[in-house]
Structure 1
Amino acid sequence: MTADAVIVGAGIVGAACAAELAARGMRVEVVDAHGIGGGATAAGMGHIVVMNDSPAEFALSAYSRDLWLALAPQLRARDAFARCGTLWVATDTEECDAALAMQAAFAARGIAAQWLDRAALRSCEPALAPDMAGGLRIEHDSIVYAPGVAEWLLAQSPAASSIRLRLGMEVRSVAAHGVTLANGERVSAAHVIVANGLGAHQLVPSLPLQPKKGHLLITDRYPGMIRHQLLELGYIKSAHHATGTSVAFNAQPRPTGQLLIGSSRQFVTTDPTVEMPVLAHMLQRAARYLPALPALNGIRAWTGFRAASPDGLPLIGRLDDAATPGVWVAVGHEGLGVTTSLATAKLLAAQIVAEPAPIPLTPYLPQRFTQGICHV
């Protein structure tokens, strides 16, 4: 064996897995067809948020947010970590009730969440439309520049000397104890981990992954215009349709003073083209919440693809399918790859070294699909 582990993918999930295994004394090789922090890592918003669409999603995102808060003091200024908090914005009484229910659910699990009435919301975020009904502030949610952190994990973290990078090298096939590169070279290892998002489907066709396309736009610099990551409370009901195209308001204050505006969701397409009707619909939705938005200067728009599983939870564990038995996967994080990357690494490493996991593993194991079990 040339390494203890070889990881396919140098995005934030692959980088987190590499750093975790290296910290446990393993020799790790990371192979990526492009460079560090590309793909969904580069395309996404870089949010670190606690989400509670299901108990398993809450457990993973809350645990991972704690890991991010512990890691933050080691990161560099260029990694743009900011504990700006999330503000879920309610437009009407129904959404206010949803916010209060969310607050109670979070409080029961030890997550700090503060209800803001109309006046408090207006004082907190004056740029919001004055008819907003209230909001729920999750104070420890954060943002980060994920490609920078991926580079730090792989090249500068305390155990980075045990990580070897093979960039610009495409993996053609994987097996339990090695990968074969496009040039015919075989890289052997005790453990093979596939963590390259949607690209994993080409290596492991049995993985139940679906692409979900999203648009984002970044503005010129408007320091202090908003202070929190802003999300509409209707996001949960409007942006997660099973089919079709949907948009929802999501705005982020970047440390540069720029605003990052999202979001959209499309199915059954892998065309990376920015679609102007979708972008316009997304920005029109955002302007409902931020009336000054149409007067701002947008400088760039782009798209990316989230790799989604059927139940919205990642697949973290060893495969038992006939084609690739013994291969490990860390894929299917959809829009929470940055948030849950550090927890994913902990759960994967615990399985590899046969240690107790920090949170229950069952909801994330690939066998929930291969054995006909779905834990939602």
Structure 2
Amino acid sequence: MRVLVVGAGAIGLLSARLLAEAGAEVCLVDQSVTGGESSWAGGGIVSPLYPWRYSAAVTALAHWSQDYYPRLGEKLRHDSGVDPEVHVTGLYWLDLEDEAAALAWAARMQRPLLSVPIETVRRAVPALASGFSRALHMPDVANVRNPRLVKALRLALLAMPNVTLHERCAVTGFIREADRVCGVRTAGGDIRADRVVVAAGAWSGELLKGLGIELPVEPVKGQMILYKCAEDFLPSMVLAKGRYAIPRRDGHILIGSTLEHAGFDKTPTEAALASLRASAEALLPALAEAELVGHWAGLRPGSPEGVPFIGRVPGYEGLWLNCGHYRNGLVLAPASCRLLADLLLDRTPIIDPAPYAPAGRLH
């Protein structure tokens, strides 16, 4: 089977890898460079920011992925020589308004989320600002160093003889024969395939308009800043008032993020920089003296309730979707891509595919 995957972010890369491992001939195309958009720009927390606020559909993908991530990190490090740094730090939520709902969700889902005294948090995270009074803690939450994850996936794919990668190769349209989609048109020529998988993140909706399909996926801009600190400055992720701090192993600290509806504009703004710096210093006052080494913006693939579209598109034989992961693409990638591969290869799916099916959710 020849499969063409449109979009070489984390979702497209991992989809391609799983299909190629199963013996498919896989061609991967991207309008830019591999993993250069949302996958590169995100924070890489291996959990939804507020998991109890999501539907069971998102939760099912998240839990499967969280359990699988350590194995994925190790396998990619072995296959590519690049360590994606799946870093288990735990996560503290501070002064939540819906703490009771969070604890009830954790009890129902049997997830290790605990109420802890604020003094415990201060001992664990000495850099934390004063003024917080309550905390919840999930000790097993990891973060993944997403630029290294996509680099590892790219190298692992290039080592596979049945994978072809075309970067800077924008798709301009689809090849249709009767009710079948059997490839794409690009500036470099037509590429034909038995199956076409659209995994183009925030651009997926625009692409599908060419087929007359209204996919409710739109770009949602997010800005982040990055500090360089001592390696032991922040031992755990912390989250308060919608903003979070993520420590990397080498002392880099990510602060995020904004939520902006600005079309496909991803220009970093001074207003967002000021807002993010203020949040950073309110959370970790010592960051006022730290070196700010980065500020960027990316585009999330916004979708209704953050539930991705995974599966075949009815009425368009050969066309498949794996897109619309909104804020949780990196969290949900392992399960989403495994589910897509299961469905496309006619295997028993890892979880119930019904909530993600494009049927009934497209216009």
TM-score, normalisation: structure 2 = 0.89
CA distance in 1, matches of 2:87, 2:159: 24
Instruction: Report the counterpart of residue 364 of structure 1 in structure 2.
Output: 356
CA distance in 2, matches of 1:157, 1:304: 24
Instruction: Report the counterpart of residue 168 of structure 2 in structure 1.
Output: 168
Instruction: Report the counterpart of residue 130 of structure 2 in structure 1.
Output: 130
Give the SS at the match of 2:321. strand
Give per-residue Cα distances to partners, 1:80-111, cap 9 Å, x unaligned. 22112222122xxxx2x733432332233232
Give the SS at the match of 2:164. strand
Letter in 1 for 2:34: I
Does structure 2 conserve the Cα–Cα contact (< 8 Å) formed by 1:209 and 1:308? yes
Letter in 2 for 1:222: A
Deviation of 1:139 after TM superposition, in Å, equals 2.0
Instruction: Report the counterpart of residue 304 of structure 1 in structure 2.
Output: 298
Does structure 1 conserve the Cα–Cα contact (< 8 Å) formed by 2:230 and 2:251? yes
The total of aligned residue pairs comes to 347
In the alignment, structure 2 segments of 5+ residues that lack a partner are: 176-180
Letter in 1 for 2:141: D
Larger displacement relative to structure 2 (66-75 or 17-26): 66-75
Instruction: Report the counterpart of residue 258 of structure 2 in structure 1.
Output: 264
> Structure 1's 158 and 24: CA in aligned 2 closer, same or farther, altered over 3 A?
farther
CA distance in 2, matches of 1:186, 1:159: 24
- The answer as to 2:325 corresponding to 1:333 is yes
Instruction: Report the counterpart of residue 246 of structure 1 in structure 2.
Output: none
Letter in 1 for 2:4: V
Give the SS at the match of 1:79. coil
Deviation of 1:262 after TM superposition, in Å, equals 0.9
What RMSD in Å do the two structures reach over aligned CA positions?
2.1
Deviation of 1:192 after TM superposition, in Å, equals 0.5
Deviation of 1:189 after TM superposition, in Å, equals 1.3
CA distance in 2, matches of 1:99, 1:124: 20
Instruction: Report the counterpart of residue 66 of structure 1 in structure 2.
Output: 67
Give the SS at the match of 1:370. coil
1:228 equivalent among 221, 230, 236: 236
Identical positions, percent = 28
Q: How does 1:272-283 map to 2 (within 5 A)?
A: 272-283=266-277
Does structure 2 conserve the Cα–Cα contact (< 8 Å) formed by 1:7 and 1:31? yes
Larger displacement relative to structure 2 (337-346 or 64-73): 64-73
1:198 equivalent among 193, 198, 202: 202
CA distance in 1, matches of 2:104, 2:30: 43
- The answer as to 2:93 corresponding to 1:88 is yes
CA distance in 2, matches of 1:278, 1:339: 24
Q: How does 1:1-376 map to 2 (within 5 A)?
A: 4-50=2-48, 51-52=51-52, 53-76=54-77, 78-90=83-95, 95=96, 98-156=98-156, 160-175=160-175, 176-183=181-188, 185-205=189-209, 206-232=214-240, 234-235=241-242, 249-320=243-314, 324-370=316-362
Deviation of 1:157 after TM superposition, in Å, equals 6.1
Larger displacement relative to structure 2 (253-262 or 107-116): 107-116
> Structure 1's 85 and 159: CA in aligned 2 closer, same or farther, altered over 3 A?
farther
Does structure 2 conserve the Cα–Cα contact (< 8 Å) formed by 1:125 and 1:227? yes
CA distance in 2, matches of 1:40, 1:152: 16
Give the SS at the match of 1:164. strand
> Structure 1's 336 and 363: CA in aligned 2 closer, same or farther, altered over 3 A?
same
Deviation of 1:126 after TM superposition, in Å, equals 1.4
CA distance in 1, matches of 2:305, 2:197: 21
Deviation of 1:174 after TM superposition, in Å, equals 2.4
Does structure 2 conserve the Cα–Cα contact (< 8 Å) formed by 1:154 and 1:163? no
Deviation of 1:359 after TM superposition, in Å, equals 1.3
Give per-residue Cα distances to partners, 1:108-145, cap 9 Å, x unaligned. 32322232111111111111122212322222221122
Letter in 2 for 1:355: R
Does structure 1 conserve the Cα–Cα contact (< 8 Å) formed by 2:203 and 2:218? no
> Structure 1's 154 and 223: CA in aligned 2 closer, same or farther, altered over 3 A?
closer
Give the SS at the match of 2:166. strand
Give the SS at the match of 1:207. coil
Give the SS at the match of 2:126. coil
Deviation of 1:33 after TM superposition, in Å, equals 2.0
Deviation of 1:213 after TM superposition, in Å, equals 0.7
Does structure 2 conserve the Cα–Cα contact (< 8 Å) formed by 1:314 and 1:330? yes
Letter in 2 for 1:338: L
Give per-residue Cα distances to partners, 1:349-370, cap 9 Å, x unaligned. 1211222221111211122422
Give the SS at the match of 2:223. strand
Instruction: Report the counterpart of residue 240 of structure 1 in structure 2.
Output: none
Letter in 2 for 1:228: S
Larger displacement relative to structure 2 (331-340 or 358-367): 358-367
Give the SS at the match of 1:256. coil
In the alignment, structure 1 segments of 5+ residues that lack a partner are: 236-248, 372-376
CA distance in 1, matches of 2:153, 2:322: 17
Give the SS at the match of 1:180. strand
CA distance in 2, matches of 1:79, 1:353: 28
Give per-residue Cα distances to partners, 1:43-65, cap 9 Å, x unaligned. 11122115232211111111111
